[in-house]
Chain A
Amino acid sequence: MKRRNLLAGLAALGATGCSRIGDSTAFAGLVDAAQRLHRGAHRALGPGSGLAREFSPDDISPFFRGNGTIAIPSPDYRAQSATGFTGWRVAVGGLVERPFSLSLADLRALPQRTQITRHDCVEGWSAIGQWTGPQLGAILTRAGLEAKARYIVFRCADRLNGAPYYESCDLDDAFHPQTILAHRLNGAPLPERNGAPLRLRIERQLGYKHAKYLTAIEAVATIDGIEGGKGGYWEDRGYQWYAGI
């Protein structure tokens, strides 16, 4: 065999080998283990609550890029948007003792947190914006989590490629002081491309975790059986559930 053929053969073997390994359940197990190791290291290395850096107003980027869904064509949403989302409600339920729902006015009446943080997209880009909204932890405390609750699931009004967008996080992130339901960006109501009227900010993770157009917050014991079972729209399409990496 000529050396060039040998090299081409090895390269082809490498390519098929990689995709074989990549598709195997053993490799999926390895990815899960690595993901848990990264999360464990991030949580162990940081002090207590490990706050994401907050920036000064001068650091705010001149534009805040929208990604994924940037407009919702549904008549329902269009009607809500036309009336300033006065009829918008977000339901808080699942494994909670006192389920309730909140209007935007209710959300604005809660104690607010304003933070200037960096948003990191999984693709690689970053933007900095100022977000305002109530802490998720306070809302969950008011609802009273049942002992079985392990995850919080976020339901959204948008559909991407025909499937509903959703996300989930663990209780550590749900009760993190910087995890807020933001209704303002840079001092103005949230633009549609950034998730109007309400989006999640979960500052220690990548952009796809920051669910937009929030309609419901649900405490659950497991993410199995919800949509694709991986805990989020992008997670169901192969992305890691822990997006702090």
Chain B
Amino acid sequence: MNRHAISTRIWHWTNALCVIVLLMSGLNISNAHPWLYWGEWGFSPDRAWLAVPRFPGWATIPSHYSLAAARDWHIVFAWVFALSLLGFMVAALANGHAARDLFTRRREWRWSLFAQELRRYLRFDFAHGGGKYGAIQKLAYALTIFVLLPLMIASGMAISPGMDAAWPVLLDLFGGRQSARSIHFLAAFALLGFTIVHVVLVALTGPWGQLRAMIVGGPGNRDEAA
């Protein structure tokens, strides 16, 4: 049996591409009006809770400021991102990946276990007994896949005036369009944070074997799965 199912591998790389394109085009969009507000409205810096720094060309798509072109990238990849996530969720629930590797069990919810695992990580000891993901690791993956990524989609939908007319409940959910925009921005940076930690941990735990496993499937042992 492969370490990663084919559905997991296809989604992983599709999602990686989507997250990169959406983040970088999103930073270009942020440059158009780099202030964030709470509530329904907000249009000038004096009402902003955050003045966002201007993102440089190397961090944006396209690399020059173009709100029109950045929005094109954003609206195309939003569909790929949302539909591939839905496909992966269905596959992961159907093939047991979610239940086996991503969802924590009740017996794993013990502070002593979390603390023990954290102490091992801080000693750069990433081997897990029995080839299973650790509780912290499961929690990080599950929260990212089942909370953070759907939050990106829902908050993005709440920014769209067409979607707000179709589903006004989105505005109640986020407490207004400008709140949704702020949450979209914060969740994007939480996702960037996850991605950085994820890549660093892969780099620390046999990166070539890890990459190979996420591309061609790899051997069945999960000892070093990051």
CB nearest to B163 among chain A residues: A42
Alpha-carbon distance A243/B67, docked complex (angstroms):
13
A239 to chain B, nearest CB (A): 5
* Interface stretch (choices A11-19, A86-94, A213-221): A11-19
Chain A contributes a number of interface residues (CB within 8 A of B) equal to: 50
Instruction: Specify which chain A residues have a CB less than 8 angstroms from the CB of B165 in the assembled complex.
Output: 42, 46, 50-53, 203-204, 244
The DSSP consensus for interface residues of chain A is loop
CB nearest to A45 among chain B residues: B166
Q: Does A237 contact B (CB under 8 A)?
A: yes
Which parts of B4-33 form the interface with A (CB within 8 Å)? 29-30, 32-33
Q: Contact between B75 and A61 (Cβ–Cβ < 8 Å)? A: no
A100 to chain B, nearest CB (A): 31
B88 to chain A, nearest CB (A): 20
Which parts of A8-54 form the interface with B (CB within 8 Å)? 11, 15, 18-19, 22, 27, 30-31, 34-35, 37-39, 42-43, 45-47, 50-53
Instruction: Specify which chain B residues have a CB less than 8 angstroms from the CB of A42 in the assembled complex.
Output: 160, 162-163, 165-166
Q: Which of B61, B163, B167, B177 contacts A244 (CB 8 A)?
A: B163
Which parts of A43-85 form the interface with B (CB within 8 Å)? 43, 45-47, 50-53, 55, 59, 61, 63, 65
* Interface stretch (choices B40-48, B110-118, B189-197, B202-210): B40-48
Number of A-B contacts (CB under 8 A): 135
Q: Does A126 contact B (CB under 8 A)?
A: yes
Q: Which of B40, B61, B75, B160 contacts A31 (CB 8 A)?
A: B75
Alpha-carbon distance A46/B168, docked complex (angstroms):
9
Q: Contact between A53 and B171 (Cβ–Cβ < 8 Å)? A: yes
Q: Does B181 contact A (CB under 8 A)?
A: yes
Q: Contact between B161 and A127 (Cβ–Cβ < 8 Å)? A: no
Q: Contact between B178 and A31 (Cβ–Cβ < 8 Å)? A: no
Which parts of B63-94 form the interface with A (CB within 8 Å)? 63, 66-69, 71-73, 75-76, 78-79
Q: Contact between A122 and B67 (Cβ–Cβ < 8 Å)? A: yes
Instruction: Specify which chain A residues have a CB less than 8 angstroms from the CB of B168 in the assembled complex.
Output: 53
A220 to chain B, nearest CB (A): 23
Q: Mark B155-199, 1 if CB is under 8 A from A, else 0.
A: 000011111111110010000011001000000000000000000
Q: Contact between B160 and A245 (Cβ–Cβ < 8 Å)? A: yes
CB nearest to B172 among chain A residues: A53
Alpha-carbon distance A234/B67, docked complex (angstroms):
11
Alpha-carbon distance A123/B30, docked complex (angstroms):
8
Alpha-carbon distance A124/B181, docked complex (angstroms):
8
Leading 10 A-B pairs by shortest Cβ distance = A244-B162, A46-B166, A238-B68, A124-B33, A42-B162, A125-B43, A123-B33, A123-B32, A204-B165, A45-B166
Residues of B within 8 A of A (CB): 29-30, 32-33, 35, 37, 40-44, 58, 61-63, 66-69, 71-73, 75-76, 78-79, 159-168, 171, 177-178, 181
